């Protein structure tokens, strides 16, 4: 989407790749969120139950200490209720889709004019997943900035760790993470979900959704 903004500053939400993404990728359950490219390993009835749970009931961070319920009738981002949707996937309302496009435009023009100034505007933050000697950085704050910087050709982006979150979540230590210890996810299922972050950079998912050839 940002590449389109760079090439056409007047691009509209209707008919954009962002609208196509939101209208195509509409996971309703955890299974639809994590397993577009493969079948999940289901060890017991609890795995089946959690995989088929409505995504709107809880926030979907698998590694946090507590399950946080989503309040659909409360103001979420930029004055819109959570019922308008989330930035990460569809369905979203037209207002939400247009808001996300405008956020990308505003971020792009700000960085184009002033440069990337994390010390002034804040760092992109999150935590690392580690699998063997490989790492993936999970962004908790700064998705729009990361998308813009990548589209603008930045090869390195400074990040920081978010307070209250672990800095590194290691594959070999999954058994000790809260949701696994509580039995919310079985160990085999948690490991499979963990590895999905290393098996696809998003290209395979986009191709399966018909977003790219």
Task: Write a three-state SS string for 40-58.
Answer: CCCCCHHHHHHHCCECCCE
**Per residue of the chain (213 residues), what is the pLDDT tens digit?**
999 999 998 999 999 999 999 999 999 898 888 887 788 888 888 889 888 988 877 666 667 666 667 666 677 777 888 889 889 999 999 999 999 999 999 999 999 999 999 988 889 999 999 999 999 999 989 999 999 999 999 999 999 998 877 899 999 999 988 888 888 889 999 999 899 899 888 888 888 888 888
What does the alpha-carbon distance between residue 96 and residue 79 come to, in Å, rounded to a whole number? Answer: 10
Give the pLDDT confidence score for residue 77 in this predicted structure. Answer: 73
Torsion angles phi and psi, residue 93, rounded to 5: -75, 165
What does the alpha-carbon distance between residue 130 and residue 193 come to, in Å, rounded to a whole number? Answer: 13
User: Partners of 141 in the beta sheet?
Assistant: 125
Give the pLDDT confidence score for residue 135 in this predicted structure. Answer: 96
Tell me if 30 sits within 8 A of 62, measured CB to CB. Answer: no
Whole-structure pTM value: 0.88
What is the 8-class DSSP label of residue 152?
T
Distances (CA, A) of 141 to 44, 94, 138, 183: 34, 23, 9, 28
């Amino acid at each position: 989407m940002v590449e389109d903004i760079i090439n056409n500053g007047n691009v509209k939400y209707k008919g954009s790749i962002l609208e196509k993404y939101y209208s195509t990728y509409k996971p309703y359950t955890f299974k639809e969120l994590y397993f577009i490219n493969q079948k999940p390993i289901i060890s017991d009835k609890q795995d089946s139950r959690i995989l088929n749970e409505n995504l709107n009931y809880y926030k979907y961070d698998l590694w946090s200490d507590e399950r946080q319920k989503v309040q659909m009738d409360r103001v979420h981002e930029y004055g819109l209720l959570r019922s308008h949707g989330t930035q990460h996937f569809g369905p979203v309302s037209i207002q939400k889709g247009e808001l996300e496009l405008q956020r990308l435009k505003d971020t792009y023009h700000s960085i184009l004019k002033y440069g990337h100034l994390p010390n002034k505007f804040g760092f992109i933050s999150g935590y690392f997943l580690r699998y063997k000697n490989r790492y993936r950085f999970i962004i908790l704050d700064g998705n729009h900035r990361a998308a813009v910087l990548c589209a603008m050709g930045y090869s390195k982006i400074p990040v920081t760790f978010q307070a209250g979150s672990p800095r590194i979540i290691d594959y070999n230590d999954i058994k000790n993470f809260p949701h696994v210890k509580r039995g919310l996810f079985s160990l085999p299922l948690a490991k499979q979900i963990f590895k999905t972050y290393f098996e696809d950079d998003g290209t395979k998912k986009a191709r399966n959704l018909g977003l790219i050839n």
